[in-house]
Structure 1
Amino acid sequence: MTALSVLDLSPITQGSDASRSLANSLDLACHAERLGYKRYWLAEHHNMPGIASAATSVVIAHIAGGTKTIRVGAGGIMLPNHAPLMIAEQFGTLAALFPGRIDLGLGRAPGTDMMTARALRRNLEASDNFPQDVVELMGYFQPAEEGQRIRAVPGEGQDVPVWILGSSLYGAQLAALLGLPYAFASHFAPAELDHALEVYRTRFQPSAQLDKPYVMLGLNVFAAPTDAEAKLLFTSLQQAFVNLRSGRPGQLPPPVENYDRDLDPVARSMLAQALSCAVVGAPETVRQGIDAFVRRTGADELMVTVRPHRAGALLRDPRGRAQIDVASRLTAGRLSTGGRKRSRKTHLSEAPRNSVRRHSRPDHSDCDVFARAGFTSVRAYRAANRPQNWRFSTVPGRGSAWWMRCAGCLRLVPPVLIYAPTARP
């Protein structure tokens, strides 16, 4: 079965800011972890008003620190922007903090425009040395040899799998030569997809890291209860892409009805080509689209890219194992309460700092009703939101707070982990 992972650019939506974007990314990572996704990657982009993941290794630490099992990594680090030693130290530190969970994907593009690349103190010819820089970086992760004068500490001896990213034959050839896994950016540059896969698979040379080719492909996925709603959500990405290609990058815009109908032929053709690897629709439509894409490409893993304007729009696992992210929907004020008016609970990322007390959460691993980032069903929310399920308790060393009785296992749970009640129910 093809593994599923997530690529997140931490999009900053119109009317929002980087703080909210990074909080949304952590919520999404927790949701992906519960659904069984394999890894969660962030990407390096600079001078982009709509992307909050410029300091990629810092955001990786933020995501890894808020999750438990999902692999977290870079998809990717644009290596010509950095000294290989510095990246080895950064990701060696991440691997020391989160053992066995850190990935490092490497690309050779600047991740920005040429003027910004110069501001990064980048040598614009550095991409010519990309293969040598990759080999040098991988060397820093090896155990230090006696007399070695330059060492990555932390870094040496750390288990940090290295990937090669690409959208052309260059990356495919390098990944094959070095025996590394290959991630192709088909979610925005699919033109060379089939040729690159053929080159990588036919020229692959086994290595200490990998004994046979392993391909991960980017795929835009927008799932919603209906095809029409999913197509509407997809227009945010379409607008952002047109703005970027037109030299007007900005924050992620809200969806627009019938957006492509009013596009000029050039923009419509560009979108049809650049975003051709996209699956948009209701769960069954998405399932069929993903299966067809995997059959055509033979992908070992899919890196699902999601950039909905509304944080709660990623409500479903693309395989159809649907779960509603109730916490995000509550934040957006969209949860149906069956006609009865209920007091609104504030999501942790929205709550004023002085209204949130942090408590350690009891172990609810045997309870499938209460989850770290929100309730897993509308029924669970309604049950737990009944006034009789709230208790005002004093916890030794932690002060007083309103606690919620878990609807699944009947134990008391500190609600401030998920919600900061603004008033007594």
Structure 2
Amino acid sequence: MSTVKLSILDRANTRVHDGETVSARQIFAEVTQRAKAAEQLGYHRFWVAEHHSVPGIAGSAPTLLIPHLAAATSRIGLGTGGIMVPSHQPLVIAEHIGTLQALVGSRLDAGLGASVGFTKPVRTALRQTDDAKDYFGDDVDQLIAYLDGTADITAYPQDASQTDLFVLTGGRAAEFAAQRGMGLVLGGPAVTNGLRTTRDVNKAVVAYRENFVPSSRRQQEPYIIASVNIAVAHSRQAAEDLVLSEAWALTRSRSIGVFQPLEEPASIRAAKPSEQQQRRIEQSLATTIYGAQHDVVEQLHRVLTYTQADEIMVTGNIWDPADQQESDRLLMDAWRAAAG
């Protein structure tokens, strides 16, 4: 497993500090600093996400953020985790990818997702129909045609199939990715079920590799990225503090329907969550990899056994950006040490 690379997906989570929500300008500056540090540490890729009208996430336009990150770095791979296909016309996505390819070149990847707006008003604002997700496959096929140059019209700038494409999925779209010769980014139970078993292999990844049909134009090989929340500290309790903020935001979102900015762990503990909230926090923590270095490496090996992944993508954001970068460093140090 020493050949398995580590990468990062940053959602540009906002946070509350001294009772005020930190500005988007500051959040993006911190994302940029994290990308620069990740490059120095040897991370393989740094992806940014797309969420719409979410108070707790500033990352709504990854294709705009990537050129800024490219200017601040020199070699780390950059990509979208992902472009949400139901939110855009395939032609516009192709134009964005072609523009980024012209600017960033071989450092660029394009992760594609099928998520729609979190609430009905957001979906209305995005002009998404109730069945928007059902057209994901057709929309991606149109997008591929524009990128390959085989569509009825030409998308400019032309990508000429230079950009590697990945499908973000919980496993259901694995067969689709295989048939289109695309990479696979697995998340959710398709990854974290591996924390509960040391023998089984996810059947979706086996089928993906067996049924992979290479694209004659992009020439991608089968490739699996396992995406999972990870935090590393010098003790399990310290690491739990790091992941508590996001677990709390997810817990509250189930009650109020809104994912809020991350709160300081100490303030969350002082607020004394209810029994129901505490159960939901624990459910979130159960699908997160956190702890001291050796514990995290052991958990990642379980995930790799289950997913047969070629790469691990670190997700989840930590309230304190300094703690976030330290977690990234401790993880990479431990991963290299485990590889010998």
Normalising by the smaller structure, the TM-score range is: 0.7 to 0.9
Please say if 1:162 is aligned against 2:165: yes
CA shift digits 1:220-252 (9 cap, x unpaired): 111122222111111111111112222132111
Change (3 A) 1:259 1:194: farther
CA shift digits 1:156-191 (9 cap, x unpaired): 42511111111242x112112212111012389856
Letter in 2 for 1:310: D
Kindly indicate whether structure 1 or structure 2 has the higher relative contact order, using CA contacts under 8 Å at least 6 residues apart: 2
* Cα drift, residue 107 of structure 1: 1.0
Counterpart pick for 2:202 among 194, 203, 221: 194
Structure 1 SS opposite 2:80: strand
Where in structure 2 are there 5+ consecutive unaligned residues? Answer: 195-200, 336-340
Structure 2 SS opposite 1:69: coil
Letter in 2 for 1:154: P
Letter in 2 for 1:9: R
Counterpart pick for 1:299 among 306, 309, 328: 309
Partner in structure 1 of residue 213 of structure 2? 205
Q: Counterparts of 2:188 and 2:134 in 1: how far apart (Å)?
A: 23
Q: Counterparts of 2:89 and 2:6 in 1: how far apart (Å)?
A: 31
Q: Counterparts of 1:185 and 1:288 in 2: how far apart (Å)?
A: 19
Partner in structure 2 of residue 6 of structure 1? 8
Q: Counterparts of 1:297 and 1:189 in 2: how far apart (Å)?
A: 6
Change (3 A) 1:268 1:189: farther
8 Å CA contact retained: 2:243, 2:285: no
Change (3 A) 1:214 1:156: closer
* Cα drift, residue 114 of structure 1: 2.4
Deviation larger for 61-70 or 203-212:
203-212
Counterpart pick for 1:285 among 290, 295, 302: 295
* Cα drift, residue 109 of structure 1: 1.3
After superposition, where does 1:2-401 map in structure 2 within 5 Å?
A: 2-14=4-16, 15=20, 16-142=22-148, 144=149, 150-157=153-160, 159-169=162-172, 171-186=173-188, 190=192, 194-208=202-216, 209=218, 212-246=221-255, 247-256=257-266, 259=269, 263=273, 266-313=276-323, 314-315=325-326, 316-320=329-333
Letter in 1 for 2:187: A
* Cα drift, residue 297 of structure 1: 2.5
Change (3 A) 1:191 1:223: closer
Letter in 2 for 1:36: G
Structure 1 SS opposite 2:46: strand
Deviation larger for 284-293 or 22-31:
284-293
Q: Counterparts of 1:154 and 1:260 in 2: how far apart (Å)?
A: 53
Q: Counterparts of 1:149 and 1:319 in 2: how far apart (Å)?
A: 46
Compare CA radii of gyration and give the structure with the larger one.
Answer: 1
Q: Counterparts of 2:140 and 2:281 in 1: how far apart (Å)?
A: 33
Which structure features the higher share of helix residues? 2
* Cα drift, residue 101 of structure 1: 1.0
Q: Counterparts of 2:163 and 2:238 in 1: how far apart (Å)?
A: 40
Change (3 A) 1:156 1:204: closer
Query: May I ask how many residue pairs the two structures share in their alignment?
Result: 319
Letter in 2 for 1:297: T
Taking only aligned residues, the RMSD between alpha carbons, in angstroms, comes to 2.8
Per the normalisation by structure 1, the TM-score is: 0.69
8 Å CA contact retained: 1:88, 1:140: yes
8 Å CA contact retained: 2:230, 2:316: yes
Deviation larger for 202-211 or 221-230:
202-211
Change (3 A) 1:296 1:173: closer
Letter in 2 for 1:278: T
* Cα drift, residue 290 of structure 1: 2.1
CA shift digits 1:56-113 (9 cap, x unpaired): 2111222122111011111111101100010111111111011111111111111532
8 Å CA contact retained: 1:69, 1:101: yes
* Cα drift, residue 280 of structure 1: 1.1
Q: Counterparts of 2:284 and 2:205 in 1: how far apart (Å)?
A: 18
Q: Counterparts of 2:232 and 2:62 in 1: how far apart (Å)?
A: 27
* Cα drift, residue 197 of structure 1: 2.6
Change (3 A) 1:188 1:176: closer
